[in-house]
């Protein structure tokens, strides 16, 4: 059972964020589910919203968490690469190229910063 109901990240440029997340999460098979409100887009699998990108409701600027990272499941190492490539092409920046990670057996990941500086990653733990 999952321990989270959902994760949200703030954006200062909603349209750029949606473009970035459509591309990078789409490479992982994560679908855009639809707007929660005009500046909140939901993403998930099988119609279940688990990730939301939004403009802050308090009207203050969004800012990236220092030390915060949101990780997404990749079923294959190829998806890790496609996630990274798609995110870079959609305005993200590299924060860790695709490759093995030493902290766990079979850990294979890549890291991106979205257009607002939020750090996200895709991890695959399947054997080679």
β-partners of residue 37 are 40
pLDDT level of residue 1 (50, 70, 90 thresholds): low
Specify the pLDDT at position 2: 74
CA-only gyration radius of the chain, Å = 14
CATH architecture of 7-55+69-124: Roll (3.10)
Alpha-carbon distances of 118 from 1, 20, 46, rounded to whole Å: 26, 12, 25
- Residue 75 pLDDT > 80: yes
The span from the CA of 128 to the CA of 46, in Å, is: 27
Q: Is the dihedral of CA 56, 38, 28, 31 positive or negative?
A: positive
| Pairing verdict, β 31-37 and 69-73 | unpaired
| Pairing verdict, β 40-45 and 31-37 | antiparallel
Render pLDDT for 21-63 as a digit per residue (tens, 0 to 9): 999 999 999 999 999 999 999 999 998 999 999 999 999 999 9
Asked whether the beta carbons of 120 and 72 are under 8 A apart, the reply is yes
Average confidence (pLDDT) over 90-119: 96
Query: What ranges do the domains of the chain cover?
Result: 7-55+69-124
């Amino acid at each position: 059972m999952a321990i989270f109901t959902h994760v949200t990240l703030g954006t200062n440029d909603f349209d750029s964020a949606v473009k970035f997340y459509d591309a990078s999460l789409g490479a992982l098979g994560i679908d855009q589910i639809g707007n929660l409100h005009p500046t909140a887009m939901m993403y998930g699998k099988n119609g279940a919203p688990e990730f939301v990108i939004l403009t802050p409701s308090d009207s203050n600027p969004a800012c990236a968490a220092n030390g915060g990272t949101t990780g997404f499941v990749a079923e294959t190492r190829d998806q890790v690469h496609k996630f990274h490539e798609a995110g870079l092409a959609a305005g993200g920046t590299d924060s860790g190229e695709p490759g093995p990670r030493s902290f766990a057996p079979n850990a294979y990941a890549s890291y991106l910063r979205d257009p607002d500086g939020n750090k996200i990653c895709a991890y695959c733990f399947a054997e080679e």
